[in-house]
Amino acid sequence: MMKTYLAVLRTNADLRKLEQELKKKKIILSAYYKTVGIVKLESGQAVSAEVFPGYFLQVKKGLNNLII
């Protein structure tokens, strides 16, 4: 079962490299909110900022929509 995550990107994160890392771990980058520096991820496994320390400041599980 796929779970949805919202992750806050670090300001110096390289999005192309992140996409490659996510593909290796079979995590889907389903949306990128450039203005606020947030990505929406979908994965069957747990995603955490500790797994991607050079890319994410924080990751929150179970958030389907971003409302600003």
pLDDT in tens, 25-50: 999 999 999 999 999 999 999 999 99
Residues 52, 21 contacting (CB under 8 angstroms): yes
Those residues whose C-beta lies under 8 Å from the C-beta of residue 68, and which sit 6 or more positions away, are 36
**What is the set of domains in the chain, with CATH numbers?**
3-61 (3.30.70)
User: How much is the pTM?
Assistant: 0.85
- Residue 23 to residues 26, 65, 66, 68, Cα–Cα distance (Å): 5, 22, 23, 28
29 vs 17: CA distance, rounded Å:
12
**CA 54/CA 62 separation, integer angstroms:** 22
